[in-house]
């Protein structure tokens, strides 16, 4: 999961599972990754040095502002997931909390159908 901050860099996390699969109250482990340049937000394809491939599974938009991770080591956000394949558009409230160094916990606070746009 990558989130674009005001600094125009991507705040990245490696997750054990897809966050859009989480029911309200469910938690997964996350690993904070180094920030990426914003041009990688839409990147798909092979990684250098045979490190694998990147495939976009779903996209969306963070509702509101993402400031840098606050000093308490948490980030409270809402994501509006775009419709993709058989997955409907959804809005998800997520809490990311730093557990130990680069290890984080992601909690799905709530998931609901996204508001329809005219």
Q: Which two tokens stand for residue 41?
A: 């937000």
pLDDT digits (tens, 9 = 90+) for 53-64: 988 888 988 886
> What domain range is 87 assigned to?
2-113
Q: How far apart are CA 16 and CA 34, in angstroms?
A: 17
**Do the domain assignments include residue 82?**
yes
* H/E run at residue 77: strand 74-81
pLDDT digits (tens, 9 = 90+) for 14-51: 898 999 999 999 999 999 888 777 777 888 999 899 99
Residue 1: the pLDDT is: 63
**Do the domain assignments include residue 99?**
yes
**Do the domain assignments include residue 79?**
yes
**Do the domain assignments include residue 118?**
no
Number of domains in the chain: 1
Q: Which two tokens stand for residue 42?
A: 């839409």
Q: How far apart are CA 20 and CA 92, in angstroms?
A: 8
CB 77 within 8 Å of CB 62:
yes
Q: What is the pTM of this model?
A: 0.78
């Amino acid at each position: 999961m990558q989130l674009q901050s005001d600094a125009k860099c991507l705040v990245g996390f490696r997750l054990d599972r897809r966050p859009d699969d989480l029911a309200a109250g469910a938690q997964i482990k996350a690993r904070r990754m180094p920030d990426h340049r914003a041009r990688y937000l839409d990147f798909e394809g092979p990684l250098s040095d045979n490190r694998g491939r990147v495939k976009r599974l779903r996209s969306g938009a963070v509702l509101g502002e993402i400031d840098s991770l606050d000093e308490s080591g948490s980030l409270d956000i809402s994501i509006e997931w775009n419709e993709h394949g058989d997955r409907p558009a959804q809005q998800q409230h997520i809490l990311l909390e730093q557990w130990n160094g680069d290890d984080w916990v992601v909690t799905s606070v709530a998931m609901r159908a996204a508001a329809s746009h005219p």
